[in-house]
């Protein structure tokens, strides 16, 4: 274990500081497609009974009108975060009629591209901006790719932790600078080790054959309707997902916050010839917000993001530049189709120990090939993570994944123990033990379990997924929310609809001018 990690563990293990780690914050965003009873994409509008996707803080849509997104508040105890997510699911199911929430990350059998509905947010300028941005995504990447769903895990360390570490380490600069530097260091380590999460929690080794729309691929045929790779953990995170030539040169390697925000700001302001050729309008209608590499910074696809809560009308980069990093968003987690919410407390407890290890361990700047190696290690594990003897690259040398995994879990163990000590429980260490078992026995991984279940039941990917969706629907429907909880959600839905109506009634200014000033806002940022 590194000297720095030892010192930090000792400091946080002191009685005066031990309770600090109880104040980490956890938020979850869970995406899922609405599907029909037959397991086809629901082409109905976002149910009004759920509220307005534009203004509801907990129930919205992502890319497609059919792609729901459930958002919890950020809470200190992940058990409470999951309880909040559970309630959102139960409320949603009280309003879904005969539709289901699709259980895995990879989509159901999809209709023709033109029949996948783009999420609509009404006539306000901000609502139209969200809609045109999605039209741009459809134009740039196709609609099919936008129907993939995932789980985003938002995590922050306690604000009081940073001044303590800063002082102990004699950092020269403000508390805010130290905090941002530390979060960027966490992200670098996450890039180094995130392949581990793909092995342990990847749950998309197979997909519906129609998903590839006849494109060439290296997948194998499992049955007439299913493609897969025998050792894959997460095809969702493979290069089958987002393939963007425009974004190919965009690889912020997270050496500091300034270089990260600069690279995104440049991408949002740099024209990309194929997009310029298309233009922003067709037949007088907006088709994309601009013709640059990225329309907005959120278009940059990465498996982890530095984040800061934004003020009304503020852009994500503006918030980061003005006030530094507040939390990180882990974006590479598959939905586990065996779990009603796609994630459970054990996974959350392990993620906390893993992220704490990334935050407190040494995190040197990336050396020459290290950024590229991190990417290729990740891609190897998503496609072949369960292959016996799989080799990864570490410090320019080959290492067996299994060996590296065992070493990493051994290094994470003291962090799990510290979290247990802080919380007065043993759940983090138990979660770690459950992951150790997956190294010894790959059949315990979710990706292996998906393939085993399909094989045992003789089900295609679509049949297996619909079956799991039905099981989860029954789980949520058989125990409805308590009357007062149901009433609280009903009120949230009503007030969100009223809020959207008010926005639309009081809208001033032309949409074209609105887009222009939104575009200009990012160019105006100066460090």
Question: Considering only CA atoms, which of 349, 345, 468 is closest in space to residue 84?
Answer: 345
Query: In sequence order, what are the beta bridge partners of 29?
Result: 71, 152
pLDDT band of 223, cuts 50, 70, 90? very high
CA 352/CA 156 separation, integer angstroms: 10
User: Stretch 290-308: mean pLDDT, rounded?
Assistant: 94
User: Stretch 183-206: mean pLDDT, rounded?
Assistant: 98
* 294, 247 Cβ separation under 8 angstroms: yes
pLDDT of residue 215: 87
pLDDT of residue 275: 96
Per-residue tokens: 459 = 């089900």
CA 8/CA 17 separation, integer angstroms: 11
Helix axes 427-440, 401-423, angle to 10 degrees: 170
User: Stretch 294-308: mean pLDDT, rounded?
Assistant: 93
pLDDT band of 206, cuts 50, 70, 90? very high
Cβ neighbours of 40 (radius 10 Å): 14
For residue 270, how many C-alpha atoms fall within 13 Å in the half-sphere facing its CB? 13
Per-residue tokens: 408 = 């990493």
pLDDT of residue 526: 47
Range with the poorest average pLDDT among 4-13, 235-244, 444-453, 459-468: 235-244
For 309-334, give the DSSP string.
PPPTT--HHHHHHHH---EEEEEEEP
CA 162/CA 180 separation, integer angstroms: 10
Evaluate if residue 114 carries a pLDDT over 70. yes
pLDDT of residue 18: 95
Secondary structure letter of residue 209 according to DSSP: G
Sheet holding 206-208, edge to edge: 206-208, 226-228, 220-223
Q: Which residue has the higher pLDDT, 354 or 244?
A: 354
CA 391/CA 403 separation, integer angstroms: 10
Per-residue tokens: 106 = 């990879």
pLDDT of residue 367: 84
CA 82/CA 18 separation, integer angstroms: 24
Alpha helices in 230-344 (DSSP H): 257-269, 273-278, 316-323
Residue 484, judged by CB atoms within 10 A of its CB (0-12, 13-18, 19+), counts as exposed
Torsion 510-516-519-521 (CA) sign: negative
Secondary structure letter of residue 146 according to DSSP: G
69-92 pLDDT tens trace: 999 999 999 999 999 999 999 999
Structurally, at CATH architecture level, domain 3-523 sits in 2-Layer Sandwich (3.30)
pLDDT of residue 243: 57
User: Stretch 396-422: mean pLDDT, rounded?
Assistant: 97
427-475 pLDDT tens trace: 999 999 999 999 999 999 999 999 999 999 999 999 999 999 999 999 9
pLDDT of residue 527: 42
Q: Say which residue the tokens 């003291």 belong to.
A: 414
CA 255/CA 480 separation, integer angstroms: 48
Q: Mean pLDDT over all residues of the chain?
A: 95
Question: Considering only CA atoms, which of 142, 125, 504, 148 is closest in space to residue 286?
Answer: 125
Q: What percent of the chain has pLDDT over 70?
A: 98
149-168 pLDDT tens trace: 999 999 999 999 999 999 99
- Sequence-ordered list of residues with C-beta below 8 angstroms from that of 409, at least 6 positions apart, any chain: 432, 435, 436, 439
pLDDT of residue 343: 98
Strands (DSSP E) contained in 157-255 are 206-208, 220-223, 226-228
pLDDT band of 241, cuts 50, 70, 90? low
Q: How would you classify the pairing of strands 285-286 and 226-228?
A: unpaired
Does pTM top 0.85 for this prediction? yes
Evaluate if residue 525 carries a pLDDT over 70. no
Range with the poorest average pLDDT among 18-22, 239-243, 278-282, 354-358: 239-243
Q: Tell me which H or E stretch contains 154.
A: strand 151-156
Cβ neighbours of 452 (radius 10 Å): 11
Q: Which residue has the higher pLDDT, 176 or 250?
A: 176
* 122, 54 Cβ separation under 8 angstroms: yes
pLDDT band of 497, cuts 50, 70, 90? very high
pLDDT of residue 244: 63
Torsion 399-402-406-412 (CA) sign: positive
CA–CA distances in Å: residue 94 to residues 45, 49, 50, 83: 16, 9, 9, 17
Q: Rg of the chain's alpha carbons, rounded to an integer? A: 23
Query: In sequence order, what are the beta bridge partners of 228?
Result: 206, 220
């Amino acid at each position: 274990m590194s000297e720095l990690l030892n010192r930090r563990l000792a400091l946080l293990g002191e009685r005066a500081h031990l309770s600090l780690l109880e104040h980490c914050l956890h938020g979850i965003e869970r995406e899922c497609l609405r599907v029909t009873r037959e397991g086809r994409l629901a082409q109905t509008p976002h149910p009004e009974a759920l509220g307005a996707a534009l203004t509801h803080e907990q129930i919205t849509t992502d890319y497609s009108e059919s792609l729901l997104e459930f958002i919890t508040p950020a809470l200190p105890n992940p058990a409470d975060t999951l309880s909040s997510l559970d309630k959102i699911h139960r409320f949603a199911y009280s309003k879904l009629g005969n539709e289901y929430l699709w259980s895995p990350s990879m989509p159901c059998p999809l209709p023709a591209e033109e029949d996948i509905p783009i999420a609509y947010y009404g006539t306000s300028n901000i609502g139209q901006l969200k809609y045109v941005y999605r039209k741009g995504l459809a134009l740039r990447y196709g609609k099919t790719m936008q129907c993939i769903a995932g789980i985003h895990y938002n995590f922050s360390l306690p604000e009081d932790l940073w001044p303590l570490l800063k002082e102990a380490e004699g950092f020269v600069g403000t508390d805010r600078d130290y905090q941002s530097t530390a979060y960027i260091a966490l992200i670098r380590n996450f890039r180094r080790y995130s392949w581990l999460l793909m092995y342990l929690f990847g749950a998309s080794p197979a997909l519906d054959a129609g998903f590839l729309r006849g494109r060439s691929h290296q997948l194998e045929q499992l049955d007439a309707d299913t493609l897969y790779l025998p050792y894959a953990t997460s095809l969702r995170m493979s290069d089958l997902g987002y393939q963007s030539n425009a974004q190919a040169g965009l690889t912020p390697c997270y050496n500091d916050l300034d270089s990260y925000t600069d690279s995104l700001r440049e991408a949002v302001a740099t024209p990309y010839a194929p997009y310029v050729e298309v233009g922003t309008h067709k037949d007088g209608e907006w088709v994309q917000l601009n013709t640059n590499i990225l329309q907005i910074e959120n278009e940059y696809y990465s498996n982890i993001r530095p984040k800061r809560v934004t003020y009304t009308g503020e852009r994500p980069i503006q918030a980061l530049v003005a006030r530094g990093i507040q939390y990180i968003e882990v974006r590479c987690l598959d939905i586990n189709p065996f779990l009603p919410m796609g994630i459970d407390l054990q996974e959350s407890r392990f993620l906390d120990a893993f992220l704490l290890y990334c935050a407190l361990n040494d995190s040197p700047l990336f050396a020459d090939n290290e950024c590229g190696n991190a990417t290729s290690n990740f891609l190897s594990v998503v496609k072949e993570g369960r292959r016996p003897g799989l080799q990864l690259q570490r410090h320019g040398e080959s290492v067996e994944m299994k060996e590296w995994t065992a070493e990493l879990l051994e290094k994470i163990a003291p962090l799990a123990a510290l979290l247990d000590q802080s919380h007065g429980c043993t759940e983090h260490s138990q979660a770690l033990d459950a992951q150790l078992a997956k190294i010894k026995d790959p059949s315990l991984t979710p990706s292996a379990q998906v393939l085993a279940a399909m094989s045992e039941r003789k089900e295609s990917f679509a049949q297996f997924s619909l079956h799991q969706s039905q099981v989860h629907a029954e789980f949520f429907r058989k125990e409805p929310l308590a009357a007062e909880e149901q009433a609280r959600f009903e009120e949230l839905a009503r007030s969100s609809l009223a809020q959207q109506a008010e926005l639309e009634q009081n809208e001033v200014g032309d949409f074209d001018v609105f887009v222009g000033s939104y575009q200009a806002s990012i160019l105006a940022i100066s460090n």
